[in-house]
Amino acid sequence: MVLITPSRSLLLIALVLLALFPLTGSTFYIQLGAKILIMAIFALSLDLLVGHTGLVSFGHAAYFGLAAYALALISPKYEPANVWMTLPLSMAIAAFAALVIGFFVLRTTGVYFIMVTLAFAQMLYSVFHDTQLGGGSDGIYIYVRPELTIAGFKPLDLESPLQFYYFVLILLILVYGFLKRILQAPFGRALAGIRLNEQRMRSIGFPIFGYKLGAFVIAGALAGLAGYLAACQFGFVNPDILAWQQSGTVLMMVILGGMGRLHGAVLGALAYVLLQEILSAPAIVGVFAKHWQLPMGSLIVIIALVFPRGIGGIFDVALRRYRTAVQTPTQ
Amino acid sequence: MFYLIQLLNALQYGLLLFLLSSGLTLIFGIMGVINLAHGSFYMIGAYLAYWLAKLTGNLWLAIPIGVVITLGIGGLLETTIIRRLYRRDHLYQVLITFGLILIFEELRSILFGNDVHGVTIPAALNYSIPLTDTLSYPVYRLFVTGVCLVIAALLYWVIYNTRIGMMIRAGNSNREMAAALGVNVPLLFAWVFAVGTALAGFAGAIAAPISSVFPGMGNQILIICFVVVVIGGIGSINGAMIASVAIGLADTLGKVIAAEYSAIAVYLVMALILLWRPQGIANRA
């Protein structure tokens, strides 16, 4: 029997809302929705490292951007690429990069880890920025979105914003379920142990390095999935996609939503993208729209100083109150 | 001759990196704060030099005034925000200082726009020493190298030969013990932070005539400084010195061998050092 708990019902409500959201109609909002879902996948992948393994990676955009470039570089110019071929390949490239970089960066801990992940991501940035491999600083266009065909049958047409939205939504649900599953599995419990007390886990006999590297590679592959989808949606890739601002942004999403909770990453992506959209809309903030980073930066400072547990933390408090209210018989 | 020029350039770049990374490494070693906004002070110093030089028409006046202003901004930032971060997790330090970068960059964009601005080299130093028929070396770069050497020597002297330096070293190796022995830790922290940022500002100001001032200039150099700190070992002035010069050489050598891939050379050096000594060359494991 499936228990109906407040958190499960909230999740179900969220899912129904996400599925029904495109009924609002406007293409602009559907595309904005798809962007939020893509960033949610990206934030989920980072939460596996930051929230669940205790590894603060400040170079997570590298894998996001690498997969986006992979799609741009392997797509034929005027014909659609095949999703079944390009998606696994792009994710594999991101995963492989995470494997190689992880091999180096996981030798360090704490603040070294933050700086070294940042430095390696910046190395990839300068590769794409300085060389002509991916069109230099101008980037590359993807003129035609990849096609999803199974033996001549096309279940979803990714050129349509509505169908692309559902494609991303399905992938988000799969990623969410996958992460939920591995976090409950022994692998995820080991990661939690590493986050809480690495020394103790090592003395019990866990191969710490292997577990961390495993998490790093999974996170890299999932970030690659998000990057692939972002490249599909925007039809354009340039070095900014793997710049460190992007790494900072996704880290902010994880914190904003409340790290260590999967729904937190999704909430954080939603809140951040909406906030950015509002702060950079001339219709709402007038001439300040051009300088949206000023209020955004101030908000980041204030939120990190005052609400270190993010929106998810606020939800948790509300849920706990609800539970206590249900359990305590009313007098 | 060509290699002499490259060697001088490497030395000049390396010493400039030292001015930045010595502050960064001390701030981390003493206060345990990872300050992403350190690069912003390099930018602030450069833009102040550009603006004040235009205002006063004299770079020699602009640089000291700019450094004093940077010192003030650094001190103000320490007492308002950075002070709250000492006991916080690195993750929040990263986020808050990341937010500060966004604020500083946007303020720069509002005040000075997004164009690249040149800063004129003062007339007294605006000539080149001819080396061969076709090659010559600008005196201003030699001047920068010299000034950086003087500052570095001063820094060494302060840290290893004065009472303040003793407190800094004590704070670096054991914060609580230093506090228990009567060091006014909050005051010491505020000054180390402010002087560290002023050093970054000074580096930006003297580099401005060479590199000109442009958006994002602080972030670009910040990441290289991280590489220096990682290679040298956190909290180590000696390590920062060796690593700065090594990175200066790697970068210049990279530019000579394969210009497009020069940025990668720096990171390759870092990767190799990580394999060999993950704790940095100057720190014991």
Q: Which two tokens stand for residue A269?
A: 């992506």
User: Would you call A205 helix, strand, or coil by DSSP?
Assistant: coil
- Is residue A230 within 8 A of residue A64, CB to CB? The reply is yes
The pLDDT of residue B261: 75
- CB-neighbour burial class of residue B141 (10 A; exposed 0-12, middle 13-18, buried 19+): buried
CB pairs under 8 A between A and B: 120
- Closest-CA distance, B41 to chain A, in angstroms, reads 16
Residue of A nearest to B84 (CA): A305
- CB-neighbour burial class of residue B212 (10 A; exposed 0-12, middle 13-18, buried 19+): middle
- Is residue A138 within 8 A of residue A238, CB to CB? The reply is yes
Confidence check: pLDDT of A112 > 70: yes
Question: Which one of A27-36, A206-215, B235-244 scores highest in mean pLDDT?
Answer: A206-215
Per-residue pLDDT of B15-51, as tens digits, reads 999 999 998 988 888 888 888 999 999 999 999 999 9
- Closest-CA distance, A6 to chain B, in angstroms, reads 30
DSSP letter (8 states) at residue B120:
P
Q: Which two tokens stand for residue A296?
A: 């955004």
SS3 track for B66-82: HHHHHHHHHHHHHHHCH
Within 10 angstroms of residue A269's Cβ, the number of other Cβ atoms is 29
Structure pTM?
A: 0.89
Q: Where are the domains of chain B?
A: 2-216
Of A122, A255, A296, the CB nearest to B223: A122
Residue of B nearest to A101 (CA): B271
Residue A187: C-alpha distances to residues A44, A52, A107, A191, A214 (Å): 17, 11, 20, 6, 9
The pLDDT of residue A194: 93
Q: Which two tokens stand for residue B271?
A: 């990767």
Per-residue pLDDT of B253-284, as tens digits, reads 888 887 777 778 888 888 888 778 877 777 76
Q: Provide CB contacts within 8 A for A29, sequence distance 6+.
A: A21
Q: Where are the domains of chain A?
A: 29-243
The pLDDT of residue B14: 93
Length of chain A as a residue count: 331
Q: Tokens 């990175």 belong to which residue? A: B247
Question: What average pLDDT score do residues A169-187 get?
Answer: 94
Q: Provide CB contacts within 8 A for B168, sequence distance 6+.
A: B26, B30, B159, B188, B192
Q: pLDDT band for A142, please (50, 70, 90 cuts).
A: confident
Closest CA to B70 of B206, B197, B187: B197
CA atoms within 13 A of residue B243's CA, in its CB half-sphere: 36
The pLDDT of residue A126: 86
- Is residue B212 within 8 A of residue B116, CB to CB? The reply is yes
CB contact under 8 A, A108 and B278: yes
Alpha-carbon gap, residue A117 to B90, rounded angstroms? 14
Interface test with A, best of B98, B111, B247 (most A CBs within 10 A): B98
Closest CA to A72 of A318, A293, A196, A236: A236
Q: Provide CB contacts within 8 A for A70, sequence distance 6+.
A: A86, A89, A90, A93, A94, A224, A228
Question: What average pLDDT score do residues A20-45 get?
Answer: 90
Q: Provide CB contacts within 8 A for B140, sequence distance 6+.
A: B121, B122, B125, B126, B209, B210
DSSP letter (8 states) at residue A24:
G
The pLDDT of residue B203: 94
Of A130, A296, A308, the CB nearest to B102: A296
List CB contacts (< 8 A) between A116 and chain B: 226, 230, 270, 274
Confidence check: pLDDT of A2 > 70: no
Please state, for a pLDDT cut of 90, what percent of chain A lies above it: 46
Alpha-carbon gap, residue A17 to A19, rounded angstroms? 5
Alpha-carbon gap, residue A27 to B199, rounded angstroms? 51
Considering only A30-44, A85-99, A140-154, B110-124, which range has the smallest mean pLDDT?
A140-154
The pLDDT of residue A331: 47
Of B95, B102, B106, the CB nearest to A251: B95
Mean of all residue pLDDT scores within chain A: 87
Confidence check: pLDDT of B214 > 50: yes
The pLDDT of residue B176: 81
Q: pLDDT band for A229, please (50, 70, 90 cuts).
A: very high
Alpha-carbon gap, residue A126 to A107, rounded angstroms? 23
Question: What average pLDDT score do residues B211-232 get?
Answer: 88
Measure the CA angle with vertex A20, ends A296 and A163; round to 5°: 85
Residue B73: C-alpha distances to residues B104, B177, B194, B204 (Å): 11, 29, 8, 15
Alpha-carbon gap, residue A283 to A292, rounded angstroms? 13
Q: pLDDT band for A306, please (50, 70, 90 cuts).
A: confident
A255 has a chain B CB within 8 A of its CB? yes
